[in-house]
Structure 1
């Protein structure tokens, strides 16, 4: 089974208008409300791929009920800890420029945190647990060290989709996959990375520090997979980018869902690229038919 851990889920409130003018009344042209959170996005794409998962983390209030109902409507398994305060709302304003206003999220009590730890302690060596996104403000991202350790103690594999120091800290647990983009990779090592060879060399450092597979997403310039055996480059696919929210999560889902069954990191890369690209070219997370269409366009070469 694949478990996805989203410690600070959200409702993503998408607002579209031609232009945002500060200090004035702005009238939207259209809006959408989606269940959000990086781990939740992974579960939603896995479901489209026909892969079962169980989404866990913290949910509370009427906003948490919206998230719960949305996941159940898609047939996704859930096992969240109920909290006292409302799950957050993130506002994504799509105008002449994209602007985001992200909610703070609930305060997690020690008892609620312990309840989540008990759930994670039930995973087995047959499972993969995806940790993704930021933690609630009163816990801080350092809490991932405790949660990942619990999962690894049960023999499960972990996928860690973090940035910066949180990603570096996760490498001690030998994650099955980490997936920074090339800008995040450069920030980790204090470099500006534009050349493919330079990106490859820095990605190998993450491998040496503990990661089993490293994917570097490069937006419109393709993606790089570094493994202990070889490095592979997925050529970019042309199309109109409509949605940057969830593309990286979709890539994680495609890789994790494939590698559990195929044990082939190159095939997993192809599905990861297909899912991530299809979402980038969609208004919401990509549908299966479009993912399959993009999969046929994925070209991977060994470097």
Structure 2
């Protein structure tokens, strides 16, 4: 089974403006709301690919109810743990193509909420399962939570880790199957200013010595690099019109997990991940399976 954990979900409120002027009354030409959170996005992409997963996380209040009902209406399986405060709302502003995000304040998550999560994980995760640990850790939770989760579950659960900061560093040392840092996150981790692919590859290899079996480095419009145990690959992005980069990294992970769940070679998982991330970037919302398949034929990875 595939599980995705979103410690800090949100309602993502998208507003599109023709010409937003700071300090004035502005009326968007389009608005819509979606359940947000990196793990939730991974599960939604998997659902689009006809692959089941379980969304885990903490929700509260009317905003939490919206997230839960929206996902259930889309036939996603959820196991949310209820908190007292309202789930946050994030603003995603598109001002004539310029994207700006405003992150909402995280609600407090109590000790008993964390205990509920760990009871579920210990009772349900089994050998061979896949667990995606995605997104930021709220300030009310210890930054060691991802590391604590890795220690609490069976050793051969494939853990995909997509976070940053202290939570990333502590969890990485426990050993994970895959990490997906971007260039900025690598530079943040090593307190460096790497820009060349050769430098990023060396940094990726160092991350392997710390605890990552595989390292997928996202380079945005410049493509990506995959470092496995024995090989290194790179790939650009397919041609297409960028509509929104929101969720493209999560979609890349969703596509990669889809391949893993199909027992495909890592190179094929990588290709599907690239096509999935690009499919979301070229779409309004998350990629569909058809969009991913159409882009897949244009993906050509290179062995370095």
Instruction: Report the TM range for the smaller structure's normalisation.
Output: over 0.9
* Displacement of 1:140: 4.3
Report matched runs for 1:14-33 at 5 Å. Answer: 14-33=14-33
Q: Which residue of 2 aligns with 1:178?
A: 179
Contact 1:87 / 1:105 at 8 angstroms: preserved in 2? Answer: yes
The answer as to whether partners of 1:167 and 1:178 remain within 8 angstroms in 2 is no
Give the drift of 1:286: 1.0
Aligned counterparts of 2:207 and 2:246: Cα–Cα separation in 1: 25
What displacement does 1:152 show? 4.2
**Aligned match of 2:139:** 137
Partner of 1:211: 212
| Secondary structure in 1 matching 2:262 | helix
Aligned length: 302
Structure 2 distance, partners of 1:287, 1:156, is 27
Tell me which moved more, 235-244 or 75-84. Answer: 235-244
When the two structures are superposed, what TM-score results if normalisation uses the length of structure 2? 0.95
In the TM superposition, what is the alpha-carbon distance from 1:22 to its structure 2 partner?
Answer: 2.0
Residue 165 of structure 1: how far off its partner (Å):
3.2
- Offset of 1:164 from its aligned partner? 3.1
Q: Which residue of 2 aligns with 1:268?
A: 269
Structure 1 CA distance, aligned partners of 2:274 and 2:295?
Answer: 9
Q: Residues 109-188 of structure 1 correspond to what in structure 2 (within 5 A)?
A: 109-122=110-123, 123-152=125-154, 155-188=156-189
What secondary structure does 1:121 align onto? helix
Deviations along 1:66-85, one digit per CA (max 9) or x if unpaired, are 11111112211111111111
Unmatched runs of 5 consecutive residues or more in structure 2: none
Alpha carbons 2:15, 2:28 under 8 Å: kept: yes
State the SS of the aligned residue for 2:185.
helix
SS at match of 1:173: coil
Offset, 1:23: 1.8
Cα gap change, 1:42 to 1:172, in 2 (>3 Å) = same
The 5 Å alignment of 1:87-106 reads 87-96=87-96, 97-106=98-107
Distance 1:225 1:265, change over 3 A: same
- 1:253-292 superposed matches below 5 A: 253-292=254-293
Residue equivalent to 1:224: 225
1:13 offset after TM fit, Å? 0.1
Structure 1: runs of 5 or more not aligned:
none
Instruction: Kindly state the Cα deviation for residue 147 of structure 1 after the two structures are TM-superposed.
Output: 2.2
State the TM-score, normalizing by the size of structure 1.
0.95
Structure 1 residue 171: Cα displacement:
1.6
Q: CA deviation at 1:232?
A: 0.7
Deviations 1:19-46 (A, max 9, x none): 2222221111100101100000000001
Quote the RMSD (CA, aligned, Å).
1.4
Q: Are 2:194 and 1:193 aligned? A: yes
- d(CA) in 2 for partners of 1:284 and 1:207? 33
Deviation, structure 1 residue 251 = 0.6
Greater mean alpha carbon deviation, residues 199-208 or residues 186-195: 186-195
Counterpart Cα distance in 1 of 2:184 and 2:137: 22
Q: Distance in 2 between matches of 1:56 and 1:95?
A: 33
Alignment of 1:53 with 2:49, yes or no, is no
* 1:271 Cα deviation after fit: 0.8
